[in-house]
């Protein structure tokens, strides 16, 4: 037998930490695998750390990053479970055994964990919009469900006919999107454009405004889609910072994960007002360049990272002055710009020209 973690042989006399062992109890067959691997004379396994061990046992046994806690109806990666720490992990363990746990909701909220019941808000919202049956939403995966849940939790537009406006936005988004996250982007694009029009604007005017934004800005966003990549999963902040630094030194830009997200952010954060051609490309370029300048001056730190529920993705929130950025690292290690713009602050950051942001 040879089972090692971080270069240390794991035997009954040198067991895993309580957090790692408890996390493995949430992996169906995880403890049984550990018992076999430490006893079988032919087994040969080496893991960089206990988090990698737990994640790869789940992946190896079930071909999925997500472990299922059936009583809680919670799907979560073992690496995420280990990030909770022993006290909060024990709360989940007691609840999964059926014990009453008044701290359960606190733990779920504190760590951004969504149960299947929570994720049902997405399909329910689509039903109110009249698009739940569209083929776009068939066979949605976990990331799709997270995106739709976030959309469902956003406040309705503060207008008299909010429900009708939301249905218009959904109808437009279904036409344009090819994935649920793109649907969320185009839904927001429609609402952002509608907010720039007079309150008595007709539905066709709002649709025309959204179409115009697409025609003017989407081609200008094609150069903004390149992204660096990290090999380690989950990523360490220093790995992400190094990847960004090397990427920027090569004259590359940290781009958006998809062009529809770039469109949404340009509409949300810049002073674009229907410009086309070279003027539209200039606005996109200024926005992208400002984001790169901000990232060059501000790298992710450990306290800024939130490990995703899948235990592989990560979201880094970076703030400096009156600017903030979100960097997303996908489960495959792709580092992309999730958001960049102003946060509430009285002074303008010197990295942006005053006329840049709306």
Proportion of the chain above pLDDT 90, given as a percent: 80
Encode pLDDT of 45-69 as tens digits: 999 899 999 999 999 999 999 999 9
Average pLDDT of the chain to the nearest whole number? 91
- Single out the residue of 115, 54, 96 nearest to residue 79, CA to CA: 54
**Residue 11 DSSP SS3:** strand
Cβ-contact 206, 282 below 8 angstroms: no
Q: How confident is the model at residue 227 (pLDDT cuts 50, 70, 90)?
A: very high
pLDDT of residue 301: 77
Cβ-contact 173, 125 below 8 angstroms: no
pLDDT of residue 75: 98
Q: Which residue has the higher pLDDT, 191 or 102?
A: 191
Encode pLDDT of 308-357 as tens digits: 999 999 999 999 999 999 999 999 999 999 999 998 643 333 344 434 45
pLDDT of residue 355: 42
- Average pLDDT for residues 252-258, to the nearest whole number? 96
Question: Can you spell out the DSSP letters for 239-284?
Answer: HHHHHHHHHHHTT-----SSHHHHHHHHHHHB---S--HHHHHHHH
Return the bridge partners of 47, or none: 5
pTM (2 d.p.)? 0.91
**Residue 341 DSSP SS3:** strand
Q: How confident is the model at residue 39 (pLDDT cuts 50, 70, 90)?
A: confident
Encode pLDDT of 108-118 as tens digits: 999 999 999 99
Cβ-contact 226, 153 below 8 angstroms: no
pLDDT of residue 13: 57
Q: Mention every residue, 6+ apart, whose C-beta is less than 8 A from residue 200.
A: none
**Residue 324 DSSP SS3:** strand
Cβ-contact 197, 296 below 8 angstroms: no
pLDDT of residue 82: 94
- For residues 213, 195, 282, 221, the Cα torsion angle rounded to the nearest 10 degrees is -50
Three-state helix/strand/coil letters over 99-128: CCCCCHHHHHHHCCCCEHHHHCHHHHHHHH
Three-state helix/strand/coil letters over 35-82: HHHHHCCCCEEEECCHHHHHHHHHHHHHCCCCEEECCCCEEECHHHHH
pLDDT of residue 343: 85
- Single out the residue of 147, 280, 305 nearest to residue 224, CA to CA: 280
95: left (phi over 0), alpha (psi -120 to 50) or beta: alpha
pLDDT of residue 11: 79
């Amino acid at each position: 037998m040879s089972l090692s973690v971080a270069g240390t042989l794991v035997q009954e006399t040198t067991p895993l930490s309580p957090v790692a062992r408890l996390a493995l109890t949430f992996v169906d067959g995880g403890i049984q695998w550990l018992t076999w691997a430490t006893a079988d004379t032919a087994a040969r396994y080496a893991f960089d750390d206990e988090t990698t061990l737990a994640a790869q046992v789940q992946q190896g046994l079930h071909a999925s990053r997500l472990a299922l806690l059936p009583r809680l109806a919670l799907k979560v990666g073992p690496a995420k479970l280990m990030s909770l720490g022993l006290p909060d992990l024990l709360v989940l363990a007691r609840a999964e055994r059926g014990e009453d746990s008044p701290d359960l909701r606190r733990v779920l909220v504190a760590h951004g964990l969504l149960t299947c019941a929570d994720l049902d808000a997405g399909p329910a919202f689509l039903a109110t919009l009249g698009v739940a049956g569209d083929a776009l939403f068939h066979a949605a995966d976990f990331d799709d469900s997270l995106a739709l849940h976030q959309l469902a939790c956003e406040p309705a537009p503060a207008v008299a006919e909010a429900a009708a406006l939301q249905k218009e936005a959904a109808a437009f988004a279904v036409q344009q999107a090819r994935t649920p996250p793109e649907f969320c982007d185009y839904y927001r694009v429609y609402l952002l454009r509608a907010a720039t029009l007079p309150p008595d604007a007709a539905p066709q005017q709002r649709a025309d405004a959204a179409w115009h934004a697409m025609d003017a800005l989407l081609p200008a966003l094609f150069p903004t889609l390149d992204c660096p990549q990290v090999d380690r999963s989950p990523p360490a902040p220093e790995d992400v910072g190094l990847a960004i630094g090397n990427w920027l030194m090569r004259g590359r830009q940290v781009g958006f994960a998809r062009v529809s997200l770039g469109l949404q952010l340009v509409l949300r954060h810049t002073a674009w007002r229907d410009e086309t051609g070279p003027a539209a490309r200039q606005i996109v370029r200024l926005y992208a360049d400002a984001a790169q300048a901000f990232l060059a001056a501000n790298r992710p730190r450990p306290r800024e990272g939130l490990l995703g529920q899948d235990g592989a993705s990560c979201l880094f929130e970076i703030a400096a002055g009156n600017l903030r950025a979100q960097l997303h690292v996908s489960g495959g290690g792709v580092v992309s710009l999730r958001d960049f713009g102003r946060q509430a602050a009285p002074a303008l950051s010197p990295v942006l020209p005053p006329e840049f942001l709306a």
